[in-house]
């Protein structure tokens, strides 16, 4: 419907805002919220590319949250400017946090354009493209966007979300090629993807170690984000599955590659993630269910830590259908946001 209305075009805000800058900004944000939500659904269902991937978009970029809140809307930056930001002058590269979130999402979107695949070469290329997109995004961030705590002490919640997505995505894309083995117990979690096809197994030890290192670095970065002074309950419920899947990968690391002091420290970080899920369960029923599911996974993986890996039920199925079992195997036009998150009245308030 949004596309049929032309909301993905910059002219939409110009035509329907009646020269009201706040209304025009609201029009732009409405489109971009739908685009970001579509990306979240793709991430939660592990189905790529996005439904909006091949739609032509010219909608201008949103301003800063504080500017929108005050109604002090600056002249909007264009998507074209952002896509060519590496060639702009130093005084032209300061984009809003929301624009940076959009830019990261579009970079991931392009990297995942081949879609779900069991072809090792295609997947490896997609993984490399993802690294390139994310690294490019990071390198082009203006200095004031690299720090989540602003000079005045306030917290940049939008950039927090962007970094959280970036590191979660790194775990998801690199884990199938890493030593963080998938175990059968993981699939008790509604958030978990299916185990990767055995065809994706990385037989080169050095390459496997590289993907493992990228996974563990991303896991550590998520742990650092969870320790920051953000009000997690105000974030989108899509963050629940992000935390779940990173925690499952962290548990796999504790089972297969972390030993001694590193494993002890990781247990503390896992407690932090579980505590975050418990806090989120005060608002979202999905978080309560996820907290229980990850607890079951953790007890299974950690209690069998001294057993040979073969007894753990490590899985390498041949995946013909890449869709997570938690979601219907139809196209995502039938995705019911509220039914999936099962939010009560309190859960519908304060989520952005």
Q: How far apart are CA 247 and CA 272, in angstroms?
A: 10
312-328 average pLDDT score: 39
Query: To which residue do tokens 């997505």 refer?
Result: 165
Higher-pLDDT residue of 226 and 116 is 226
CA distances from 104 to 17, 108, 185, 328, 351 (A): 27, 6, 32, 28, 21
pLDDT at 220: 97
Per domain, the residue ranges of the chain are: 149-155+181-352
- pLDDT digits over 268-312, tens only? 999 999 999 999 999 999 999 999 999 999 999 987 444 444 444
- pLDDT digits over 126-151, tens only? 999 999 999 999 999 999 999 999 98
CA distances from 260 to 263, 264, 291 (A): 5, 7, 26
Among 192, 191, 214, 212, which residue's Cα sits nearest to residue 202?
A: 212
Confidence of residue 168 (pLDDT cuts 50, 70, 90): very high
Please state at what angle helix 97-111 crosses helix 157-174, rounded to 10 degrees.
Answer: 10
Answer yes or no: pTM beyond 0.95.
Answer: no
Per residue, the 3-state secondary structure of the chain, as one string, reads CHHHHCCCCHHHHHHHCCCCHHHHHHHHHHHHHHHHHHHHHHHHHCCCCCCCCCCCCCCCCCCCHHHHHHCCCCCCCCHHHHHCHHHCCHHHCCCCHHHHHHHHHHHHHHHCCCCCCCCHHHHHHHHHHHHHHHHHHHHCCCHHHHCCECCCCCECHHHHHHHHHHHHHHHHHHHHHCCCCCEHHHHHCCCCCCCCCHHHCCCCHHHHHHHHHHHHHHHHHHHHHHCCCCCHHHCCCHHHHHHHHHHHHHHHHHHHCCCHHHHHHHHHHHHHHHHHHHHHCCCEHHHHHHHHHHHHHHHHHHHCCCCCHHHHCECCCCCCCCCCCCCCCCCHHHCCHHHHHCECCHHHCCCC
Q: How far apart are CA 57 and CA 247, in angstroms?
A: 35
pLDDT at 197: 80
């Amino acid at each position: 419907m949004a596309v049929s209305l032309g909301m993905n075009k910059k002219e939409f805000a110009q035509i329907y805002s009646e020269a009201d800058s706040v209304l025009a900004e609201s029009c732009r944000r409405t489109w971009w919220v739908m685009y970001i939500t579509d990306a979240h659904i793709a991430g939660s269902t592990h189905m790529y590319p996005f439904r909006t991937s091949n739609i032509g978009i010219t909608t201008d970029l949103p301003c800063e949250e504080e500017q929108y809140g005050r109604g002090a809307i600056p002249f909007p930056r264009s998507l074209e400017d952002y896509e060519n930001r590496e060639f702009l002058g130093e005084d032209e590269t300061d984009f809003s946090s929301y624009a940076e979130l959009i830019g990261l999402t579009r970079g991931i979107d392009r990297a995942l354009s081949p879609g779900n695949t069991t072809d090792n070469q295609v997947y490896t290329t997609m993984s490399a493209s993802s690294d390139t997109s994310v690294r490019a995004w990071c390198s082009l961030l203006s200095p004031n966007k690299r720090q989540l705590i602003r000079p005045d002490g306030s917290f940049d919640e939008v950039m927090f979300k962007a970094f959280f997505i970036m590191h979660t995505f790194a775990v998801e894309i690199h884990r199938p090629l890493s030593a963080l083995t998938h175990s059968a117990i993981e699939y008790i979690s509604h958030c978990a993807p299916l185990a990767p096809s055995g065809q994706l197994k990385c037989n080169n030890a050095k390459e496997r170690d590289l993907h493992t290192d990228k996974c563990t670095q991303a896991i550590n970065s998520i742990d650092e984000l969870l320790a920051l002074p953000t009000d997690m309950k105000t974030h989108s419920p899509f963050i629940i599955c992000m935390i779940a899947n990173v925690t499952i990968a962290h548990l796999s690391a504790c089972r297969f590659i972390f030993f001694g002091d590193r494993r002890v420290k990781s247990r503390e970080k896992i407690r932090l993630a579980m505590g975050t899920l418990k806090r989120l369960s005060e608002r979202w029923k999905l978080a309560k269910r996820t907290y229980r599911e990850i607890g079951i996974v953790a007890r299974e993986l950690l209690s069998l830590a001294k057993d040979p890996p073969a007894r753990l039920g490590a899985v390498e199925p041949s995946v013909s259908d890449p869709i997570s079992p938690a979601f219907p195997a139809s196209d995502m036009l039938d995705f019911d946001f509220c039914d999936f998150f099962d939010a009560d009245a309190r859960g519908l308030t304060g989520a952005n």
